[in-house]
């Protein structure tokens, strides 16, 4: 590649100057023809991405696949151990199953809740008032901040024994010393609430597609005497299903890959009831120095996420409205 | 149109070039261009970070043109960062090393043999006791230089126990300790933290008192009964109410000096009257308390204080294989150990200075906390201790950071009784130790 980057600017300069030498003219002519091809410009423009994709995605993925068959411990050399990591994962690691269960619970509960919330707020913000711009921004904000460490720490303080939640309960006469983060029944829900609170990006996508629904449909429906409620179920929701589908797939994938919330707020405590798959993988890799095992876990997760996504696509024809069909 | 496309192509090529050049300088920062730069990494608390930063400044002042890049993390994060650095062959030049990780890093060939620098005089060890030097020697080679000595210490809230009229004696047994914990709880409502969710030093200490070694050769040196006795303290404590409830620990960072229940938290149910730490941590804990509360210390409880007690190199400095300037790194270690200003800055933060001449130099600058720390080591531990266990094997990391904390958690939450938990722990620990061999 260094060849191309070195020659490009100079040939571009020569090309626009006077052509004096016949020999170099022929060569440059060929180069110019090459450079003027539509596809070359495309490749050059896409180069930074292609380079990044190869270096930071494909190469590490291949390496991690290799490591998943080794006993790599990060600080030493890796040696091949075949399928041992995978066998251990499925037969001996209780935390693998535990964290898988927690992650599924988290994704399957938080994602639908988040989408319902996003849709409700999007419907409310659809009206064009002066303040709606402000509210759209305000409701979008958590989804930018939500994954950050600062919010995670804030969350931990809020749900602490002497935190805001218990103090607010105190105002209503409920004298609570409840440790929301310390109880196996409630800890996961604090993380789910945090995830639902980050509904902003789904909300924006809903807003955009709500605006696409032709107003005539609603007019025709109200002429026929359909109530707002009927209009929602018969017009809005069916026409939104492609957007819901898109949001569902994207958020599901994100849900399975959740990490920060658990890592900063609960670290899997109490009793691993909030141990996300990704955090277990991280602990195995970097705390216990079982990086080969961690790589194997990553590949299992890749297959699982792929399977869930395929499943969602398979259900598509039963509930997603398709204009062409 | 064509001209436009040409410009785009040229710009894109330029951008790619710039971004690659940027990569170049990034990786070059530790390369040959910086023969005068070293990176020093350590774990620690606020007090240590401040003092160490001052020492780095002193080193820079004493060596014209040299820059020291100091990197610090909390204990947990430190080892994660260090291992990933090691994987990328980008470890800092000088890193603080703990006794429990030393063996692993040597086994994987990541550390430089310091003997060459001792021989050529870069690191002056003439005032360092042979016993101290031998702590960093593995297979006859010096890989690590001890930075100070410390010993396990039960740091406790003396203001609280005085007020309750309870005296905390030296050389307690575990039963005596439980008895005092109960008394404190009855009289003040303040609870106890039996080194919950931290590494296995306390279990190791109690076992030493009975003449046993926690990490034997490739397997656990403790029987199920030994572990059960230890876990029983938690079971009893949570049942009778004098141990801090596990819910409290879900809200703090385990092992952090600043968030330890001894100094953190306002509610009595979230506080502990004591903390199982090392004597070098007294000052950092005292610094958190601004309300005039006085901390004191004694040794950890055990059946036999002499058998259980030990003096530990509180931490080491090592030079890593990825260092581009090992000679300068060696100079830094020498400066840290032998320069009077440096020693006077660190004082007893990493334990008593190893350079015997420096002891006299700093005596006058020691504050009350430092003096307590010194007299504890000299008067309580040293006359009443035995040799430290050999460095822990590789699998010990998993036992310390995952297995023991989670088994303690299950007992505290009442999910398992001490006997079942002990059986499970011994099994898992043996697996971990065997597979890491």
Which chain A residue lies closest to B246 (C-alpha atoms)?
A: A182
Collect all residues from A whose CB is shorter than 8 A from any CB in B. 1, 4-5, 8-9, 12, 15-16, 35-36, 40-41, 44-45, 47-48, 51, 73-77, 156, 160-162, 177, 179, 181-184, 187, 266, 269-272, 283, 286-291
A295/A303 Cα distance (integer angstroms): 13
Q: Given pLDDT bands bounded at 50, 70 and 90, which one contains residue A116?
A: very high
Residue pLDDT, tens place only, B103-160 = 889 988 899 999 999 999 999 998 888 878 888 888 889 999 998 888 999 999 999 9
Closest CA to B145 of B133, B129, B158, B160: B133
Which chain B residue lies closest to A15 (C-alpha atoms)?
A: B6
Asked if B304 and B318 sit in the same domain, the reply is no
Residue with tokens 């600017």, as numbered in its chain: A9
Chain B residues with beta carbon closer than 8 angstroms to that of A160 = 251
Which chain A residue lies closest to B412 (C-alpha atoms)?
A: A271
Asked if B260 and B350 sit in the same domain, the reply is no
A289 vs B250: CB contact, 8 Å cut-off? no
pLDDT < 50: residue spans in chain B: 1, 15-33
Asked if B278 and B329 sit in the same domain, the reply is no
Closest CA to A161 of A151, A176, A139, A143: A176
Residue B15 lies in a domain: no
**Secondary structure (DSSP) of B55-113:** HHHHHHHHSTT-EEEEEEE-HHHHHHHHHHHHHTT---SEEEE-HHHHHHHHHTT-B--
More confident residue, A38 or B119: B119
Does the ipTM surpass 0.95?
A: no
Window 47-76 of B, Cβ < 8 Å to A: 76
Q: What is the pLDDT at residue B9?
A: 53
B86 vs A15: CB contact, 8 Å cut-off? no
CB proximity list for B284: less than 8 A, separation 6 or greater: B45, B46, B47, B48, B257, B349
Residue B21 lies in a domain: no
Phi/psi of residue B40, each to 5°? -120, 130
CB proximity list for A19: less than 8 A, separation 6 or greater: A25, A28
Q: What is the pLDDT at residue B4?
A: 56
Window 164-193 of B, Cβ < 8 Å to A: none
Among A5, A177, A286, beta carbon nearest to B84: A286
Q: How far is CA B315 from the centre of its chain?
A: 7
Asked if B64 and B128 sit in the same domain, the reply is yes
B430: domain range? 152-311+387-435
Shortest alpha-carbon distance between residue B107 and chain A (Å): 8
Chain B residues with beta carbon closer than 8 angstroms to that of A1 = 16
Asked if B242 and B321 sit in the same domain, the reply is no
Residue B90 lies in a domain: yes
Among B13, B105, B267, beta carbon nearest to A44: B13
B102 interface with A at CB cutoff 8 Å: no
Query: Residue B220 burial (CB < 10 Å; 0-12/13-18/19+)?
Result: buried
Pairing of the two strands B149-150 and B152-157: unpaired
Which chain B residue lies closest to A286 (C-alpha atoms)?
A: B80
Asked if B323 and B268 sit in the same domain, the reply is no
Q: Which letter, b or e, does each residue of B81-111 get, where b requires 16 or more Cβ atoms within 10 Å of its Cβ?
A: bbbbbbbeeebbbbbbbbbbbbbbbbebebb
Residue with tokens 């059986």, as numbered in its chain: B423
Residue with tokens 């110019």, as numbered in its chain: A32
Shortest alpha-carbon distance between residue B13 and chain A (Å): 5
pLDDT at residue A172 greater than cutoff 90: no
B245 interface with A at CB cutoff 8 Å: yes
Q: What is the pLDDT at residue A249?
A: 95
Residue B190 lies in a domain: yes
Residue of B5, B7, B9 to mutate when probing chain A, most A C-beta within 10 A: B9
Closest CA to A215 of A126, A117, A324, A119: A126
Q: What is the pLDDT at residue B175?
A: 95
Asked if B81 and B125 sit in the same domain, the reply is yes
Fold of the domain built from segment(s) A86-319: MetI-like fold (1.10.3720)
Q: What is the pLDDT at residue B17?
A: 44
A292/A87 Cα distance (integer angstroms): 13
Residue B8 lies in a domain: no
A289 vs B108: CB contact, 8 Å cut-off? no
Phi/psi of residue B348, each to 5°? -105, 20
B296/B287 Cα distance (integer angstroms): 13
Domain segments of chain A: what residues?
2-67, 86-319
Closest CA to B194 of B150, B238, B160, B224: B238
Which chain A residue lies closest to B399 (C-alpha atoms)?
A: A288
Residue of B250, B268, B414 to mutate when probing chain A, most A C-beta within 10 A: B250
Residue of A60, A270, A274 to mutate when probing chain B, most B C-beta within 10 A: A270
Among A36, A286, A288, beta carbon nearest to B398: A288
Residue B46 lies in a domain: yes
Element (H, E) at B275: strand B274-278
For residue B265, give both structure tokens: 């938290």
The pLDDT > 90 percentage for chain A reads: 50
CB B199 within 8 A of CB B401: yes
Across the beta sheet with B295-298, the strand order is B274-278, B152-157, B295-298
B97/B314 Cα distance (integer angstroms): 9
> How many C-beta atoms surround the C-beta of residue A101 within 10 A?
14
Asked if B324 and B373 sit in the same domain, the reply is yes
B397 interface with A at CB cutoff 8 Å: yes
Among A5, A15, A266, beta carbon nearest to B17: A5
Asked if B131 and B37 sit in the same domain, the reply is yes
B9 vs A48: CB contact, 8 Å cut-off? no
Long-range contacts made by residues B358-363, C-beta under 8 angstroms, separation at least 24? B358/B127
Residue B156 lies in a domain: yes
Which chain A residue lies closest to B432 (C-alpha atoms)?
A: A288
A289/A286 Cα distance (integer angstroms): 5
Return the DSSP state at B37.
Answer: E
Domain count, chain B: 2
B255 interface with A at CB cutoff 8 Å: no
A75 vs B104: CB contact, 8 Å cut-off? yes
Asked if B186 and B103 sit in the same domain, the reply is no
Among B16, B110, B415, beta carbon nearest to A271: B415
Closest CA to B156 of B267, B301, B45: B301
For residue A126, give both structure tokens: 């659809």
**Average pLDDT value for residue range A119-145:** 85
Shortest alpha-carbon distance between residue A2 and chain B (Å): 8
B346 interface with A at CB cutoff 8 Å: no
pLDDT at residue A206 greater than cutoff 90: yes
**Secondary structure (DSSP) of A194-209:** HHHH--HHHHHHHHHH
CB B199 within 8 A of CB B400: yes
B89 interface with A at CB cutoff 8 Å: no
More confident residue, A26 or A192: A192
CATH assignment of the domain containing B86: 3.40.190.10
Which chain B residue lies closest to A10 (C-alpha atoms)?
A: B10
Residue B4 lies in a domain: no
* Backbone CA torsion sign across B294, B300, B306, B310: negative
More confident residue, A137 or B28: A137
Query: Residue B165 burial (CB < 10 Å; 0-12/13-18/19+)?
Result: exposed
Asked if B192 and B229 sit in the same domain, the reply is yes
pTM of the model: 0.81
CB B282 within 8 A of CB B155: yes
What are the helix (H) ranges across A93-148? 94-124, 132-145
Element (H, E) at B278: strand B274-278
Q: What is the pLDDT at residue A27?
A: 63
Lowest-confidence region among A77-91, A105-119, A294-308, B380-394 = B380-394
Chain B residues with beta carbon closer than 8 angstroms to that of A75 = 83, 86-87, 104-105, 108, 110
Q: What is the pLDDT at residue B29?
A: 40
**Average pLDDT value for residue range A101-115:** 95
Q: What is the pLDDT at residue A25?
A: 54
Closest CA to B280 of B366, B383, B338, B205: B366
């Amino acid at each position: 590649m260094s060849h191309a980057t070195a020659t490009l600017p100079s040939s571009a300069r020569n090309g626009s100057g006077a052509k004096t030498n016949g020999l170099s003219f022929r060569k440059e002519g060929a180069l110019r023809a090459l450079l003027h091809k539509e596809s070359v410009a495309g490749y050059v423009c896409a180069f930074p991405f292609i380079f990044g994709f190869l270096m930071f995605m494909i190469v590490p993925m291949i390496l991690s696949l290799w490591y998943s068959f080794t006993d790599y411990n990060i600080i030493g050399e890796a040696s091949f151990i075949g399928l041992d990591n995978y066998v251990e994962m499925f037969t001996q690691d209780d935390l693998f199953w535990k964290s898988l269960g927690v992650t599924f619970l988290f994704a399957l509960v938080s994602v639908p809740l988040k989408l319902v919330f996003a849709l409700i707020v999007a419907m409310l913000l659809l009206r064009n008032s002066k303040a709606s711009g402000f509210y759209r921004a305000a409701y979008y904000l958590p989804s930018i901040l939500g994954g950050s460490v600062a919010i995670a720490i804030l969350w931990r303080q809020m749900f602490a024994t002497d935190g805001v939640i218990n103090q607010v309960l105190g105002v209503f006469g409920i004298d609570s010393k409840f440790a929301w983060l310390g109880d196996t029944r409630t800890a996961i829900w604090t993380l789910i609430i945090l995830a639902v609170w980050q509904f902003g990006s789904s909300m924006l996508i809903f807003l955009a597609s709500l605006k696409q629904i032709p107003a005539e449909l609603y007019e025709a429906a109200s002429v026929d005497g359909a109530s707002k409620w009927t209009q929602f179920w018969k017009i809005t929701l069916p026409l939104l299903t492609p957007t819901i589908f898109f949001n569902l797939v994207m958020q599901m994938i994100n849900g399975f890959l959740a990490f920060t919330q658990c890592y900063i707020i609960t670290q899997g405590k109490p009793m691993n009831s909030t141990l996300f798959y990704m955090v277990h993988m991280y602990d195995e890799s970097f705390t216990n120095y079982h990086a080969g095992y961690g790589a194997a876990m990553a590949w299992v997760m890749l297959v699982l996420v792929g399977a869930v996504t395929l499943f969602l696509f398979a259900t598509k024809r039963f509930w997603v409205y398709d204009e062409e069909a | 149109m064509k001209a436009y496309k040409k410009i785009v192509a040229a710009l894109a090529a330029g951008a790619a070039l710039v971004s690659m050049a940027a990569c170049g300088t990034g990786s070059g920062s530790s390369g040959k261009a910086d023969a005068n730069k070293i990176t020093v990494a350590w774990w620690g608390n606020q007090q240590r970070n401040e003092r160490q930063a001052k020492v780095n400044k002193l080193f820079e002042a004493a060596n014209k043109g040299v820059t020291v890049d100091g990197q610090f993390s909390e204990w947990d994060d430190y080892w994660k960062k260090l291992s990933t650095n090691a994987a990328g062959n980008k470890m800092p030049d000088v890193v603080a090393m703990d006794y429990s990780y030393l063996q692993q890093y040597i086994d994987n060939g990541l550390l430089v043999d310091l003997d060459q620098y001792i021989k050529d005089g870069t690191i002056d060890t003439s005032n360092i006791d042979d016993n101290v030097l031998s702590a960093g020697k593995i297979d006859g080679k010096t890989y690590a230089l001890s930075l100070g000595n410390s010993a396990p210490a039960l740091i406790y809230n003396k203001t609280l126990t005085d007020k309750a009229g309870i005296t905390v004696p030296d050389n307690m047994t575990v039963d005596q300790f439980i008895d005092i914990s109960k008394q404190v709880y009855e009289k003040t409502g303040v609870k106890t933290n039996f080194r919950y969710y931290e590494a296995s030093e306390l279990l190791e200490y109690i076992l030493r008192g009975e003449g046993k070694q926690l990490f034997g050769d490739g397997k656990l040196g403790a029987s199920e009964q030994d572990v059960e006795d230890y876990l029983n303290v938690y079971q009893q404590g949570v049942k009778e109410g004098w141990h801090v409830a596990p819910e409290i620990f879900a809200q703090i960072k385990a092992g952090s000096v600043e968030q330890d229940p001894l100094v953190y938290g306002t509610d009595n149910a979230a506080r502990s009257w004591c903390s199982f730490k090392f004597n070098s941590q007294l000052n950092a804990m005292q610094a958190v308390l601004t309300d005039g509360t006085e901390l004191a210390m004694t040794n950890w409880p055990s059946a036999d204080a002499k058998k259980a007690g030990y003096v530990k190199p509180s931490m080491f400095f090592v030079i890593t294989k990825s260092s581009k300037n090992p000679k300068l790194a060696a100079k830094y270690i020498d400066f840290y150990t032998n320069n009077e200003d440096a020693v006077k800055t660190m004082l007893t933060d990493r334990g008593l200075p190893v350079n015997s001449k420096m002891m006299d130099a700093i005596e006058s600058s020691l504050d009350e906390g430092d003096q307590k720390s010194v007299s504890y080591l000299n008067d309580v531990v040293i006359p009443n201790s035995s040799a430290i266990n050999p460095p822990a094997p590789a699998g010990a990391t998993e036992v310390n950071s995952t297995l023991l904390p989670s088994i303690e958690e299950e007992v505290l939450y009442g999910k398992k009784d001490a006997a079942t938990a002990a059986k499970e722990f011994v099994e898992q620990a043996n697996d971990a130790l065997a597979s890491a061999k």
